[in-house]
């Protein structure tokens, strides 16, 4: 798995790092050949990365936006606040570029209004921890409760609110950003000082590859993910009900009324949760299944049919309107499929339109929710001397 990911850190990468320290806005790399024009104006572009200011947090910390491009018309913007994927543009079947992730066009909204966690790195613990507490090695840790009785997505000041240190990385066929954040011992109630690195890599095959690594100096729990919401027809274009989803999972983890897993691993067969064959997201979202009622739609962790090691195919999503396809591979054992149920028409997105329920979906690769309190689930414990190391791949293509 690690071998697949390894970027070629050559002279180019070193040059990029040096350059980026010296300039605020300049195209830093041009490794690709001549642009590949197509009939709809996308000229292909170049493998490269630029950096610009994106404002400052209320305490005055500067935030930057990095724009990653490849020579096949894929463009990704990542901001150092929250490690947020702020924009991701890819061509449709006719070559037209649209931004396919939900978000905001300014930092202020991310700081004040990002209750949906648009595009953010989530940590230390993605998803919910029951009653805001867990016990590890006989010690009980109390966490801030920010979702009814539970802790959600690392607490109110989780990784999605941190300004990450950025360094440009990449090689001949890729360009990327390595983000680092040191979470002090006790932050948001979690034990141990956690050294965290998240690497975003854009490759020439229209793939965004994310590698998460962490080490600790005390036993702790860790579960990192990215919380991008996708709409393959384009952000702000309406609901994603027609998107056709395929999920490589025979089972899911049903939840109680506060969305904490009951501990059961339930088969999806015969339920609206069965996406083993491609099915539109909207086809069964209004079914009266009790688990759909609890989630107000889909908001559930799927137990992936994973290979014994390495990257496994988790999901693919096809948008029949644009022809765009998103395939997700991961080393993680689970994925939270969230159909944007709590988007309620109160937030104005990047292109100036209100987001309403199901205007985007998230597929959050992860360990199962509440694993620290569920001994039968795969462990999320990280101990000193061990390394947390997971990879998730978002690969884009088009279909006729
Ligand atoms: C996750 C949760 C949802 C919701 C969103 C953010 O997907 O499972 O219940 O909290 O994050 O709104």
For residues 220 and 124, is the Cβ–Cβ distance under 8 A?
yes
Region 144-149 average pLDDT: 98
The pLDDT assigned to 171 comes to: 87
- This prediction has a pTM of 0.91
Share of the chain above pLDDT 90, in %: 88
Find, among 374, 275, 349, 357, the residue nearest to 318 by Cα.
Answer: 275
Segment 89-101 mean pLDDT: 97
In angstroms, what is the span from residue 269 Cα to ligand 1's centroid?
A: 24
pLDDT value of residue 357: 98
CA distance linking residue 45 with residue 70, whole number of Å: 6
Residue 374 pLDDT > 90: yes
pLDDT digits (tens, 9 = 90+) for 22-44: 233 333 333 333 344 444 457 67
Please state, in angstroms and rounded to a whole number, the distance separating the CA atoms of residues 154 and 140. Answer: 17
In whole numbers, what is the pLDDT of the chain averaged over residues? 91
**Separation between Cα atoms, residue 161 and residue 110, nearest integer Å:** 9
Query: Residues 220-274: pLDDT tens digits?
Result: 999 999 999 999 999 999 999 999 999 999 999 999 999 999 999 999 999 999 9
Greater pLDDT, 8 or 86 = 86
Q: 326 alpha carbon to ligand 1 midpoint, in Å?
A: 20
The pLDDT of residue 111 is above 50: yes
Could you list the active site residues? 227, 364
pLDDT one-digit tens code per residue, 307-326: 999 999 999 999 999 999 99
Residue 147 alpha carbon, nearest atom of ligand 1: 10
Q: Quote the pLDDT of residue 45.
A: 82
* CA 339 to centroid of ligand 1, rounded, Å: 9
CA–centroid distance, residue 42 to ligand 1 (Å):
35
Residue 392 has pLDDT above 50, yes or no: yes
Please give the C-alpha separations between residue 379 and each of 255, 291, 329, 333, 373, in angstroms, as whole numbers: 19, 25, 20, 10, 10
User: Of 18-22, 24-28, 193-197, which one has max mean pLDDT?
Assistant: 193-197
pLDDT score of 21: 33
Domains of the chain: 2-121+159-212 (2.70.98.10), 223-398 (2.70.98.10)
Distance between CA atoms of 248 and 159, rounded to whole angstroms? 28
Read off the DSSP letter of residue 188: G
The token pair at 210 is 């994310």
Residues with CB under 6 Å of ligand 1 are 116-117, 127, 152, 259, 299, 336, 338, 342, 362, 364
The DSSP symbol for 53 reads E
Q: What phi and psi, each to the nearest 5 degrees, are found at residue 196?
A: -120, 140
Residue 338 CA: nearest ligand 1 atom is 7
**Strand 249-253 vs strand 299-304: parallel, antiparallel, or unpaired?**
antiparallel
Pairwise CA distance, residues 153 & 155, whole Å: 6
Atom of ligand 1 nearest to the CA of 259: 9
Q: How far apart are CA 16 and CA 49, in angstroms?
A: 9
Contacts (Cβ under 8 Å, ≥6 apart) of 196: 123, 159, 180, 181, 182, 183, 212, 213, 214, 224
């Amino acid at each position: 798995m690690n071998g697949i990911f390894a970027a070629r850190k050559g002279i180019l990468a070193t040059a990029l790092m040096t350059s980026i320290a010296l300039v605020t806005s300049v195209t830093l790399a041009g490794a690709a050949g001549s642009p590949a024009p197509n009939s709809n104006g996308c000229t292909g572009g170049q493998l490269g990365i630029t950096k610009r200011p994106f404002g400052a947090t209320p305490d005055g910390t500067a935030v930057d936006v990095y724009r990653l491009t490849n020579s096949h018309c894929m463009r990704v913007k990542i901001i150092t606040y929250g490690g947020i994927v702020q924009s991701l543009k890819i061509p449709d079947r006719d070559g037209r570029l649209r931004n396919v992730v939900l978000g905001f066009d300014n930092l202020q909204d991310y700081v004040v209004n990002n209750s949906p966690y648009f595009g953010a790195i989530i940590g230390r613990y993605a998803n919910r921890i029951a009653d805001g507490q867990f016990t590890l090695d006989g010690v009980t840790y109390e966490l801030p409760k920010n979702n009814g009785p539970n802790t959600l997505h690392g607490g109110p000041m989780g990784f999605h609110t941190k300004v990450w240190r950025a360094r440009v990385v990449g090689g001949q066929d890729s360009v990327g950003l390595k983000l680092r954040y040191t979470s002090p011992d006790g932050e948001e109630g979690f034990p141990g000082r956690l050294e965290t690195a998240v690497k975003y890599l854009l490759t020439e095959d229209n793939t965004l590859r994310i590698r998460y690594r962490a080490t600790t100096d005390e036993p702790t729990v860790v579960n990192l993910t990215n919380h991008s919401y996708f709409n393959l027809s384009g952000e702000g274009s309406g609901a994603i009900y027609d998107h056709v989803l395929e999920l490589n999972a025979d089972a899911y983890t049903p939840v109680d009324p506060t969305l904490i897993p009951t501990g059961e691993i339930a088969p999806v067969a015969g339920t609206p949760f069965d996406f083993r064959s491609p099915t539109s997201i909207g086809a069964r979202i209004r079914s009266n299944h009790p688990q759909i009622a609890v989630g107000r739609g889909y908001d559930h962790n799927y137990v992936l049919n994973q290979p014994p090691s390495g990257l496994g195919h988790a999901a693919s999503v096809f948008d029949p309107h644009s022809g765009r396809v998103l395939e997700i591979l991961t080393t993680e054992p689970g994925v939270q499929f969230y159909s944007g149920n709590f988007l309620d028409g109160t937030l104005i997105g990047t292109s100036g339109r209100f987001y309403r329920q199901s205007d985007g979906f998230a597929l959050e690769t992860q360990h199962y929710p509440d694993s620290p309190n569920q001994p039968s689930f795969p462990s999320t414990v990280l101990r000193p001397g061990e390394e947390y190391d997971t990879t998730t791949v978002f690969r884009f293509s088009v279909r006729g």
